Every structure is written in structure tokens, then in C-alpha cells.
Structure 1
Amino acid sequence: MSRPKILIAAIAAILSLSGAAVFLSMDQANAGPPKQPEQSDSEAGAVLYAENCASCHGAQLEGEPDWRSPKDDGTLPAPPHDRTGHTWHHGDALLFDYTKLGGQAALEASGVTNFNSGMPGFGEQLSDQEIWDILAFIKSTWPDRMRETQEVRTEGEQMQGGS
């Protein structure tokens, strides 16, 4: 096995042991975890982000203030999607499903029932391609190192989803 494949396998095992959940799209459960299509358009994603996401996550991807502290209803404020947040810590499958299904539905589909997410689902407002375009825009704002880390997380999801 090549060194990159060993590294990816090791990281996937660590993520699995640390309780990282792999979220499978309900539409693509049989095809494996979703992954960013090559034809994603980050420029179109920037427009879609401004129209659909910026009201909660900020025009500059900065998130809501005190995003790590729960609100009165128990949900967390919208996190930043820039380099200061944790979005880049997650693979494509989680990011896609969280956006399409909404946080609560994505978590419940994966068996997580003790977390209250305020993220609404956008599957009825946005096409799958539009969601990918938004994610491409968000990723385009990250430094190389963060994009590389996020790609490794995505590869780990792909390996786990194929077993």
C-alpha cells in the first residue's frame, strides 16, 4: 500500500475511533458518500451563498457572534465557514447532507439523537448542484492547508462508505 493510502486509512481509522460520524445522503446511500463534483462552480456558489446562507453565516462567512455558546433554545448559533470555524474539519458527505437535509435530519439519520441543530434543510430550495456550488465557494476561501485537510476527511468518508 502506498504511503498516501496508508495515511488516509490511518486518519479514517482515527476519525472512526474518535466518534466522527459519516453522513450518507439518503438519495445516494447506495452509491456511497457524496463527494464534491469536479464541475462545481464557486462563482455561482458565491451568489447562492449570499442569497441563502449569509443571513445566518455572515456575508464574509464569519458566522454569528458567540457561535460556540448555545442559545436559549439549546441550539448553537450559526458557525463561521471561514478559516476560523470548523467547517473544514468535515468531509464532503457531512457538509452536503447537513445542508440538504438540515442539521437535525442529518444527525438523526446517522443515529445522533442527543444534539439539537438549528440548521434548516435546503433540499427543497436548492438543487444538489447548487449545494455543491455553495460548498465549492466556501472551500475556495480556505488556505491550502485547510483544503488539503478537508480533502483527507472526505477520502476517509469515501473509504468508510465503500465498506
Structure 2
Amino acid sequence: MGRYPMVLFGILFMAYLIWNHMSDPDRPISVNKTAVDRGRELYAQHCGRCHTGGLSPIQAMPGSPGAGPNLDYESRSIYRLSDAELLATPKSGTHTDDESGKRAEMTKQVEGLANHQIRDILAFLKSTWPSDGRLEQWVSSHTAQK
């Protein structure tokens, strides 16, 4: 076998590994600088209108139909969600029973986002959590998998 087919095979194999890694919905959400930076931008564009507070440069209109909870440090209930639950929340619009109008608005905001973009938003959110919040969420994620 010549050199060209081996190089081509190597490139295709690497592309497959990258694609497989990017498309795996069960892998943990990685909090790295690149993902956090992309997530910060996406959060401002898609989430900040309704989820205000210390995380968003955008101020939502009080009483707007889709106004969601503040997702900063004070929102401790978010730490109890596993990575799988965090990933499902934007697409379903909720992780608890709340008004259907809020669910509909939230799902519209993420409609055009790919899974890796939602993961970036969640990486940004996780980067704002204190260490005890990250630990609590890590435990939730790992006990939910068993």
C-alpha cells in the first residue's frame, strides 16, 4: 500500500474520531476556555433576554412572557441537575412544571442551535458556579448515570 492511501486513511480516521466525540450526547460538559468564550456569546444572544442577572449584559423587560429565572450564583437548584438534564432543559423548555408559555419561548430561543452550541452555553454557566456548586453538580451527574 502506498503512502497516499495511508495518509488519506489517517485523515478520515481522525475526522471520524472528532465527529464521534462532537456528536456524543453523553459525554460530560467540558468547561474549557474556548467553550466558555463561545458559550458567553451564545448566552447573550439566545438566553440573556429572559435569564438576566450577573450573567447577562442584556436586561429583560420585567414581566415579559418568557422571563426565566436568574441563572447566576444564587440559583442553586441548577446544581442538582445532571449534565443530561442540563442538556435537555433548553430543548424541552423546562426541568420542572411551569407555565407552557415559558417553555414555548425557551424552545424557540434554542431552535436553531446545535448540540455543541448548547453545550458551550452550559460550559459558560458552569464556569460561573462556585466550586461547591460544581462539585454538587458533578456528584448529581455521576450518580444519575448509575
TM-score by length of 1: 0.57
Pairwise mapping of residues 11-26 of structure 1 onto structure 2 (< 5 A)?
A: none
How many corresponding residue pairs? 113
Relative to structure 1, the CA distance from residue 154 to residue 64 in structure 2 (aligned partners, 3 Å threshold; closer, same or farther) is farther
1:93 is matched with which residue? 84
Deviation of 1:38 (Å): 3.5
Deviation of 1:158 (Å): 1.2
Relative to structure 1, the CA distance from residue 55 to residue 65 in structure 2 (aligned partners, 3 Å threshold; closer, same or farther) is closer
1:142 is matched with which residue? 129
Deviation of 1:156 (Å): 1.8
Find out whether 1:56 has 2:50 as its counterpart: yes
Instruction: Name the structure where helix makes up a greater proportion of residues.
Output: 2
SS at match of 1:93: helix
1:153 is matched with which residue? 140
Ranges in structure 1 where 5+ consecutive residues have no aligned partner? 1-31, 108-113
Deviation of 1:60 (Å): 2.2
Pairwise mapping of residues 100-119 of structure 1 onto structure 2 (< 5 A)?
A: 100-103=91-94, 115-117=98-100, 118-119=102-103
Answer yes or no: is the 8 Å Cα contact 2:36–2:124 preserved in 1.
Answer: yes
Answer yes or no: is the 8 Å Cα contact 1:100–1:131 preserved in 2.
Answer: no
- Sequence identity, in percent? 30
Pairwise mapping of residues 7-86 of structure 1 onto structure 2 (< 5 A)?
A: 34-38=26-30, 41-58=35-52, 60-61=54-55, 77-85=67-75, 86=77
2:21 is matched with which residue? none
Relative to structure 1, the CA distance from residue 43 to residue 79 in structure 2 (aligned partners, 3 Å threshold; closer, same or farther) is same
Q: Quote the Cα distance in structure 2 between the aligned partners of 1:61 and 1:138.
A: 8
Name which one, 1 or 2, has greater alpha-carbon Rg: 2
Please report the RMSD computed on the Cα atoms of aligned residues, expressed in angstroms.
Answer: 3.2
TM-score by length of 2: 0.63
The runs of at least 4 aligned residues of structure 1 exceeding 6 Å deviation read: 62-66
Q: Quote the Cα distance in structure 1 between the aligned partners of 2:61 and 2:139.
A: 29
